[in-house]
Amino acid sequence: MTFIKISEQQSLYDNLEDKSVREILEEINNEDQKVALAVHKTLPQIEELVNLIVPRMRRGGRIFYIGAGTSGRLGVLDASEIPPTFGMPPTLIVGLIAGGDTALRNPVENAEDDIHRGWEELTEHNISENDTVIGIAASGTTPYVIGAMHEAKEHGILTACITSNPDSPMSHEADIAIEMIVGPEYVTGSSRMKSGTGQKMILNMISTSVMIKLGRVKGNKMVNMQLTNKKLIERGTRMIIEELGIDYDKANTLLLMHGSVEKTIEAYKNNNIK
């Protein structure tokens, strides 16, 4: 079967430089509306992946996102938001990007073409069979990602991928292939656009649903968020007031004493704090 890179096909629009700003914005917005529909079609695969990840993480497993360029940056971004949002250690979901931290801001020449480096980086984290490797690449052809996924699969580690092309080389290395077909980009080949938007949506779904199933959310509240600024302390205080029916000052004092909304509520209920 011939592999076709839909993500690299010609844009449906042309002569972009001749358009008004409003025309450009309208057309980009029209294309962006296709993303959520494309993501929706992948929900069965995302569901399957999450259902496999959760028991692994309960046994001490981790998630490794691995990608290059925009895809790698989005993986690092999602991973970096787990500790402040859910109060989990930064080692639980790890984002790896070809070229390392330098590549978060600047391109690193040939980094994504090294088929061995991704697996080397995973082994530096002592990857095991309880872990999950999720490759991210719009093209589905990034050697850095494919090499890491291939070796992970050979070692009995659960692999998945997020790509914008069907039947890609990366999909062949995945136990679960999430193929989000958003179509050609507005600027031909610029996968930071629709593909990047879809990748962010899917990463949100994976990490958020996993954290909910691991008990890091109560009701619909981020009861384990880190209290890193006044806004979050205020939000946490309001959560405690809502849950326990106590006054503001007492809620605020208890929150700062116990360090999280969940711990505060548990301590109050278990010890009947007055």
Question: Are the C-beta atoms of residues 140 and 170 closer than 8 Å to each other?
Answer: yes
Give the max Cα distance, the chain: 70
Q: Give the residue numbers marked as catalytic.
A: 81, 112
Among candidate residues 127, 174, 117, 177, the one with its CA nearest the CA of residue 148: 117
Q: Are 71 and 137 in contact (CB under 8 A)?
A: yes
Cα 131 from Cα 119, distance rounded (Å): 13
Those residues whose C-beta lies under 8 Å from the C-beta of residue 216, and which sit 6 or more positions away, are 86, 87, 88, 223, 224
Classify residue 134 by its DSSP letter.
E
Tokens representing 107 are 């391109």
Q: Distance between CA atoms of 150 and 131, rounded to whole angstroms? A: 14
- Residue 14 neighbours by CB distance under 10 Å: 10
Of 239, 203, 244, 237, give the one whose Cα is nearest residue 218: 239
